[in-house]
Amino acid sequence: MAWVYTGKLYDSEFQAGCHATRIREEGFLVANLFPRYVYVFRTRKGRYGVKCMC
């Protein structure tokens, strides 16, 4: 299993957290996969993203 990173970075942790919650509840819309782990991470430049392990 590998981490899958979403393609968008967010300016605030709140925005990334909302996206992570949506992935947890609805799964990936394209593949209908419900990931085991969903994390919000911070880049070196201070932006936030979401990564999942399916």
Single-letter residue type at 30:
V
Tally of CB atoms within 10 A around 11? 10
Domain boundaries, the chain: 3-53
In this prediction, residues 24-30 reach a mean pLDDT of 73
Structure tokens at 43: 């880049």
User: For residue 1, is pLDDT > 90?
Assistant: no
Single-letter residue type at 2:
A
In this prediction, residues 20-32 reach a mean pLDDT of 77
- The pLDDT assigned to 26 comes to 80
With b meaning 16 or more CB within 10 Å and e meaning fewer, what string describes 20-35?
beebeeeeeeeeeeeb
User: For residue 11, is pLDDT > 90?
Assistant: yes
pLDDT tens by residue, 35-46: 888 999 999 999
What's the burial of 1, exposed, middle or buried (CB within 10 Å: 0-12/13-18/19+)?
Answer: exposed
